[in-house]
């Protein structure tokens, strides 16, 4: 009985993680992360990348 409950919980966690990872809302952040290794090390950090823009929008909407 206990192993069935644990299996069900793990299945639900897997499904939630999959939905989160493949959500269209996450695409700009994942694309920015994929390009990080290709960027120049000397480039100044600005809010021009999608990750910073989404964080800035979230912080503004929280206020």
DSSP-assigned letters across all residues of the chain: -HHHHHHHHHHHHHHHHHHHHT-GGGHHHHHHHHHHTTS-TTSPP-TTSHHHHHHHHHHHHH-
Tell me the pTM.
0.48
| 57 lies in some domain | yes
CB count, 10 Å around CB of 35? 11
Q: How far from 44 is each of 47, 51, 57, CA to CA, in Å?
A: 10, 15, 21
| 15 lies in some domain | no
pLDDT in tens, 19-53: 999 999 999 998 888 888 877 665 555 556 667 76
When divided into structural domains, the chain yields a total of: 1
| 12 lies in some domain | no
pLDDT of residue 38: 79
User: Residue 53 belongs to what domain range?
Assistant: 24-36+48-63
């Amino acid at each position: 009985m206990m192993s069935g409950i644990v299996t069900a919980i793990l299945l639900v966690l897997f499904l939630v993680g999959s939905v989160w990872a493949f959500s269209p809302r996450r695409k700009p952040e994942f694309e920015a992360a994929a390009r990080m290794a290709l960027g120049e090390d000397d480039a100044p950090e600005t809010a021009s990348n999608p990750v910073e823009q989404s964080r800035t929008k979230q912080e503004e909407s929280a206020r």
